[in-house]
């Protein structure tokens, strides 16, 4: 009797949960063919850099706790800017903390929206110069940039899809 109480009831309770889930309409997304919109403030696994806005001040590199940003500039200034000769980010070290984005006084560096930038080779996670520019394939995240976030599509959640079906 004691054994039934201890194990039998537990099994029955567990089976009830299983049966209840079996009868529910499944709500899933067939990834990667279907995707939900991510958070507008996603901290993706790459950085987006603007060559136009960057003044070469290196504040981002100083703010990075991981030492992931390397910047080389010319020594003389032109139009109140240093010409950037090299801007390199090792996203293998990047922890997506966003401190470089918050530190940049010229809105020249952003976190990316992508979460699928895993690579097979270690060297391929290092991004340099033009590989860091924004493009249709590399949209910037609205992290720390609320005005940018407002223009992005609203996040979709699986729970919303479940509620739609009810």
Rule CB under 6 A: choose which of 39, 45, 70, 97 binds ligand SF4.
97
Rule CB under 6 A: choose which of 42, 54, 140, 152 binds ligand SF4.
54
**Residues 106-125: x where in contact with ligand SF4 by CB under 6 A, - otherwise, as a string:** x-xx----------------
Which one of 9-17, 90-98, 117-125, 128-136 is the stretch in contact with ligand SF4 (CB under 6 A)? Answer: 90-98
Take residue 98 and report the two structure tokens written for it.
């966003």
| Distance in angstroms (rounded) separating the CA atoms of residues 133 and 128 | 9
Residue 96 touches ligand SF4, criterion: CB under 6 A? yes
H or E, element range at 129: none
| Distance in angstroms (rounded) separating the CA atoms of residues 104 and 109 | 7
Take residue 50 and report the two structure tokens written for it.
């603007």
Take residue 144 and report the two structure tokens written for it.
């720390």
CB 66 within 8 A of CB 93: yes
* Closest to ligand SF4 by CB, 124 or 160: 124
Q: Which chain residues interact with ligand SF4 by CB under 6 A?
A: 47, 54-60, 63-64, 66, 68-69, 71, 89, 94-100, 104, 106, 108-109
């Amino acid at each position: 009797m004691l054994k039934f109480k201890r194990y039998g009831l537990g099994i029955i309770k567990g089976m009830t949960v299983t049966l209840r889930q079996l009868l529910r309409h499944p709500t899933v997304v067939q990834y990667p063919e279907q995707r939900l919109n991510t958070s507008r403030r996603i901290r993706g696994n790459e950085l987006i850099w603007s060559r136009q806005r960057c003044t070469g001040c290196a504040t981002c590199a100083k703010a990075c706790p991981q030492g992931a940003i390397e910047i080389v500039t010319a020594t003389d200034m032109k139009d109140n800017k240093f010409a950037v000769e090299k801007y390199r980010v090792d996203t293998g070290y990047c922890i997506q903390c966003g401190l470089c984005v918050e530190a940049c006084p010229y809105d020249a560096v952003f976190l990316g929206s992508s979460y699928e930038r895993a690579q097979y080779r270690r060297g391929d996670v290092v991004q340099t110069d033009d590989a860091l520019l924004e493009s249709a394939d590399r949209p910037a995240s609205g992290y720390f940039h609320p005005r940018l976030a407002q223009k992005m599509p609203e996040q979709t959640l699986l729970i919303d899809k479940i509620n739609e079906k009810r």
